[in-house]
């Protein structure tokens, strides 16, 4: 069984976003360790337009295949022409939503779900010729495991996670067999 770390999950998502938007002109694609604050947006101004992704939450369940990861992807746009500043960010968000919806991995179900995009424009950003959008989304992961300090997703080599169940029980000193084969 292979174990995938949450860092690898985040990097896989970012790599897929990067590959999908290579056709868009000069967009910087990177990562951030948490919530991207408005005051940090200026740091990405030199790389604008920019698409920055963070793994924000991990929902780890004891139940098989009920785990997920919550991401935020920010779109930052800067220009001297105010009308293009807003339009460019919306164009990038429009291109990103189907990319997020269609990311794929063997250790995940489907692509991004619960996608919600929101403009985070503020007067402070506007004074600097910038606008910012946040896209929140989740990725459903196959059953997760914490092995010491390393979290991950178990992947069976043959994808047969359950082959059957055999047991013998004693009921009033009489044996009772229980067998399930799948």
Confidence of residue 159 (pLDDT cuts 50, 70, 90): very low
pLDDT at 56 over 50: yes
- How confident is the model at residue 99, as a pLDDT? 95
Per residue in 30-47, pLDDT (tens digit) is 999 999 888 887 777 677
pLDDT in tens, 16-26: 999 988 766 67
pLDDT beyond 60 at 53: yes
Q: How far apart are CA 176 and CA 106, in angstroms?
A: 40
d(C-alpha 108, C-alpha 138), whole Å: 11
User: Does the structure show a pLDDT above 50 at 101?
Assistant: yes
What are residue 59's phi and psi, to 5 degrees?
-105, 100
- Predicted model pTM: 0.75
- Confidence check: pLDDT of 165 > 60: no
Q: What mean pLDDT do residues 143-165 have?
A: 50
Q: What's the confidence (pLDDT) of residue 114?
A: 97
Asked if residue 49 has a cis previous peptide bond (ω within 30° of 0), the answer is: yes
Domain boundaries, the chain: 6-181
**Would the pLDDT of 144 be above 60?**
no
Give whole-number Cα distances, 143 to 84, 156, 173, in Å.
44, 11, 38
Position 123 scores a pLDDT of 87
pLDDT of residue 1: 41
Classify domain 6-181 at the CATH topology level: STM4215-like (3.30.2000)
**pLDDT tops 90 at residue 96:** yes
**Distance, CA of 74 to CA of 84 (rounded, Å):** 18
């Amino acid at each position: 069984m292979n174990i995938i770390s949450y860092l690898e999950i985040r990097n896989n998502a970012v790599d897929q976003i990067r590959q999908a938007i290579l056709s868009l002109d000069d967009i910087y694609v990177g990562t951030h360790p948490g919530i991207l604050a408005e005051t940090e947006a200026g740091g990405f101004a030199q790389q604008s337009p920019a698409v920055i992704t963070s793994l924000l939450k991990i929902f780890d369940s004891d139940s098989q295949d009920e785990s997920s990861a919550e991401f935020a992807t920010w779109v930052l746009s800067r220009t001297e022409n105010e009308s293009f500043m807003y339009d460019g960010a919306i164009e990038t968000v429009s291109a990103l939503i189907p990319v997020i919806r269609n990311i794929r991995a063997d250790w995940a179900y489907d692509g991004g779900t619960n996608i919600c995009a929101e403009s985070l424009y503020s007067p402070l950003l506007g004074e600097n010729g910038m606008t910012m959008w946040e896209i929140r989304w989740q990725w459903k992961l196959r059953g997760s495991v914490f092995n010491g300090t390393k979290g991950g997703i178990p992947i069976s080599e043959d994808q047969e996670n359950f082959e059957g169940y055999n047991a013998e029980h004693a009921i009033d000193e009489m044996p009772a067999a229980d067998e399930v084969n799948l």
